[in-house]
Structure 1
Amino acid sequence: MSSRHSLRLDAHQHFWRYDAASYPWITHDMPRLRGDFQPADLRPLLDRAGFDGCIAVQARGCPSETDHLLHLAGQYPWVRAVVGWADLRSITLEASLERWVQASTLRGFRHQLQDEPVPATLMQDAAFNRGLSTLQGKGYVYEVLIKARDLPAATQWCQHHDRHHLVLDHLGKPDVRARDVQAWRQQLAPLAALPHVSCKLSGLMTEADWQTGHSAPLLPYLHTALELFGADRLMFGSDWPVCLLASEYAGTCALVEQALQPLSASEQAAIWGGTACRVYGIEGVNP
């Protein structure tokens, strides 16, 4: 893939106006996140890091979240795509999707599977699977947000849904505090072997022990992802503002830059934007 016209994109970040009831996952030990984070806050960070734009991803499980992100994308053209939320189990899913059919920036959906009591149970739910099949039939990307322990269940699930791109968020959230890269690699490899599954190099900083400041080696996890997925199925995401729990925006970029140093220019261009453009159908990259 030529990198001449590749957009440089942050493929994973969030916007919100904070209130505790809407964001129960923002707990009391996350004071840095208990505030508003808007496009005007992100744009200077993107500029300093040399990004052309971003992909805004849902942080609440409600249709109004999708509407809100689409509204922001309409105001700020550099929000190049939106990953929203819809109730895949709903009998009115088709109608929900129809209301967004004119929203050109809506390119995918996500459910916070990691917050389910037993994520594997929802992945086996017949209505949830019908909903995902509907999304794929309409050409929407689906993002898989799980923790490493659910990688085997996610692999089986993703095998059955191969009509369109699936994207694993945050490298499947490895337990980096356990410092067992090999065990995580064995969990991840079968999923990475599925050609329709891509992965975001995102969210790794906050899997470390950010509350105590005790660092864990993170580069081996990035190197493993590079080995298993290859550059053409990897994309950078800052996970801003969640990344601020552990690192400033520039530090999050610097970690990935360090991991990518051995790669060719075209491989680096893929991870910094080319893969995201291809997977999410964003104009601005050579085919």
Structure 2
Amino acid sequence: MNNRIDSHQHFWIFDPVRDSWIDESMSKIQSDFLPEDLLPLLKENKFSGCVAVQSSQSEDETNFLADLASKNDFIKGIVGWVDLRADNISERLLHFSSNKTIKGFRHVVQGEADDFMFREDFRNGISALKEFNFRYDILIFHRQLPAAISLVRDFPDQKFVIDHIAKPDIKSGNIDSWKKGIEEIAKYDNVWCKVSGMVTEADWKNWKPEDLKPYLDVIFENFSTDKILYGSDWPVLNVASDYKEVVKTLEDYILKFSIEDQNKIWFENAFAFYNL
């Protein structure tokens, strides 16, 4: 089965000023990560392609990813950045809609105030996405789930996917408030969820697959196997693990599911959600 899709990874040419979030504790990823670095990992782990997701907030980032995709056909889609708060948002979306590799957009909401998703200008941008059939990736910390629930409820015709299972505090084991939020947001038909970015919310040096299991249980109990996508979060995962280990953790967890359901998680849902 060589048709798996990694629905969440990043590329960058490291810039210490722009990428200041990659601090000394993450020195392992203070370097360039480009398609030629990812391709061998994809092949080795039976992946045929990936979705490249923005990590910095500029249209330059969207253009950078689009350029990489034009030269590497295994990059099946891009989640870029556009200023959703801009007055001319429809014009910018029209501009980007001419590039068929651009499937959606993301804003680093985890770095914003907890009421950011209630802002009128942000919501105006969200309301403009549907006309162009763009998806939206929700990147938040678990404490921002109430705002995300309000957003997905108020835009029932917009398709959303939660990145990194909404970043629960796996390291501390605090699960309750995150679990309540997931139970609520999963009720909405327009919401999918990426099993991604978990190892970096755990104890980087000492995590074990058992630490992730209670969180995976909540996701799989609340989102159907039609709504769950796999993402590696490469190269960020390198601070706590490696590509193969992250893949194997999910492989082992979903062994109990039918091959049909496993195929949905590994690639069919990514194709469906992002129109790959």
Cα distance, 1:220–1:101 mapped onto 2, change above 3 Å:
same
Deviation (angstroms), 1:26: 0.8
2:140 to 132, 146, 156: 146
Q: Determine if the alignment matches structure 1 residue 244 to structure 2 residue 243.
A: no
Q: Distance in 2 between matches of 1:181 and 1:257?
A: 23
Secondary structure at the counterpart of residue 218 of structure 1:
helix
2:50 maps to 54
Q: Distance in 2 between matches of 1:92 and 1:128?
A: 12
Equivalence for 1:253 = 247
Contact residue 7 and residue 274 of structure 1 kept, 8 A: no
Q: Give the secondary-structure state (helix, strand or coil) at the position aligned to 2:24.
A: coil
| Cα distance in 1, alignment partners of residues 89 and 103 from structure 2 | 16
Deviations 1:77-103 (A, max 9, x none): 110000000001101212222222220
Amino acid at match of 1:147: F
Looking at both structures, which has the greater relative contact order when contacts are Cα pairs under 8 Å and sequence separation is at least 6? 1
Contact 1:56 1:82 in 2 (8 A): yes
Describe the SS at the equivalent of 2:248. helix
* 1:241-261 superposed Cα distances (whole Å, 9 cap, x missing partner): 000010010001011111111
Per-residue deviation, 1:22? 1.3
Question: TM-score, normalised on structure 1?
Answer: 0.92
SS at match of 1:67: helix
1:206 aligns to 2:200 (yes or no): yes
Counterpart of 1:88 (choices 84, 91, 106) is 84
Report the Cα offset of residue 214 of structure 1: 5.3
Moved segments of 4+, more than 6 Å: none
Quote the offset at 1:146 in angstroms.
0.4
Query: What does residue range 101-116 of structure 1 map to in structure 2 within 5 Å?
Result: 101-116=97-112
CA contact (8 A) 1:61 1:86 kept: yes
Identify the match of residue 76 of structure 1 among 55, 68, 72: 72
The separation in 2 between residues aligned to 1:51 and 1:273, in whole angstroms, is 9
Q: Structure 1 stretches of 5 or more lacking a match?
A: 283-287
Equivalent position to 1:44, from 40, 47, 69: 40
Q: Is the 8 A contact 2:93 2:132 kept in 1?
A: no
* d(CA) in 1 for partners of 2:97, 2:194: 26
Of 129, 132, 140, the residue aligned with 1:135 is: 129
Cα distance, 1:178 vs structure 2: 2.3
Match of residue 95 from structure 2: 99
Residue in structure 1 matching 2:217, options 215, 220, 223: 223
Distance 1:47 1:227 in 2: 31
Matches of 1:173 and 1:34, distance apart in 2: 22
Superposition RMSD in Å: 1.4
Letter in 2 for 1:119: D
Which of 187, 191, 203 is the aligned partner of 1:197? 191
